A = this chain, B = another copy of it.
Amino acid sequence: MSSVGNVSPKTHRFSEPLMLQSGASMADYTLMYETYGQLNAAKTNAILICHALNASHHVAGTYADHPSEVGWWDNMIGPGKSIDTDRFFVIGVNNLGSCFGSTGPMHTNPLTGKPYGADFPVVTVEDWVNAQARLADVLGISQFAAVMGGSLGGMQALSWSTMYPDRLKHCVVIASTPKLSAQNIAFNDVARQAIVSDPDFHGGDFYAYNVVPKSGLRVARMVGHITYLSNDDMAEKFGRDLKAADYQFGFGVDFEIESYLRYQGDKFSSYFDANTYLLITKALDYFDPARKYNGDLTKALAMTKAQFLVISFTTDWRFSPERSHEIVKALLSNTRDVTYAEIDAPHGHDAFLLDDARYMNLVRSYFERLHQQLDQERA
Question: Residues on A close to B: CB < 8 A?
Answer: 21-24, 121-122, 179-183, 185-187, 189-190, 192-194, 196-199, 215-216, 218-219, 222-223, 226, 229, 231, 234-235, 237-240, 247, 249-251, 254-255, 257-258, 261-262, 265, 278, 282, 285-286, 288
Q: Check A251–B182 contact: CB distance below 8 A.
A: no
Give 6 pairs: A residue, B residue, CB < 8 Å, sorted on A. A182-B240, A182-B255, A186-B222, A187-B223, A193-B265, A194-B194
- Of B185, B194, B215, B249, the contact of A22 (CB 8 Å cutoff): B249
- Of B215, B240, B247, the contact of A197 (CB 8 Å cutoff): B215
- Interfacial chain B residues near A258, Cβ < 8 Å: 185-186, 189
Q: Check B282–A251 contact: CB distance below 8 A.
A: yes
Q: Check B182–A239 contact: CB distance below 8 A.
A: yes
CA distance A235 to B265 in the complex (A): 29
Q: Check B240–A183 contact: CB distance below 8 A.
A: no
Report how many copies the assembly holds.
2
- Interfacial chain B residues near A196, Cβ < 8 Å: 251
CA distance A325 to B240 in the complex (A): 19
CA distance A288 to B250 in the complex (A): 17
- Interfacial chain B residues near A288, Cβ < 8 Å: 240
- Of B251, B255, B285, the contact of A185 (CB 8 Å cutoff): B255
Q: Check A179–B240 contact: CB distance below 8 A.
A: yes
- Of B179, B197, B250, the contact of A219 (CB 8 Å cutoff): B197
Given contacts A182-B240, A235-B181, contact A251 B278 (CB under 8 A): yes
Q: Check B219–A181 contact: CB distance below 8 A.
A: no
CA distance A219 to B15 in the complex (A): 41
- Interfacial chain B residues near A282, Cβ < 8 Å: 251
Given contacts A122-B250, A261-B190, contact A185 B223 (CB under 8 A): no
Q: Check A251–B192 contact: CB distance below 8 A.
A: yes
**Minimum Cβ distance to chain B for residue A275 (Å):** 10
- Interfacial chain B residues near A218, Cβ < 8 Å: 193, 197
- Interfacial chain B residues near A278, Cβ < 8 Å: 251
CA distance A179 to B218 in the complex (A): 26
CA distance A182 to B254 in the complex (A): 12
Q: Check A261–B189 contact: CB distance below 8 A.
A: yes
**Minimum Cβ distance to chain B for residue A279 (Å):** 9
Specify the chain B residue showing the minimal Cβ separation from A248: B122
- Interfacial chain B residues near A180, Cβ < 8 Å: 240
Specify the chain B residue showing the minimal Cβ separation from A180: B240
Q: Check B238–A182 contact: CB distance below 8 A.
A: yes
- Interfacial chain B residues near A186, Cβ < 8 Å: 222, 226, 234, 257-258, 261
Q: List 7 additional A-B contacts (Cβ < 8 Å) besides A181-B235, A196-B251.
A: A182-B238, A185-B258, A186-B222, A189-B262, A190-B222, A190-B223, A240-B288
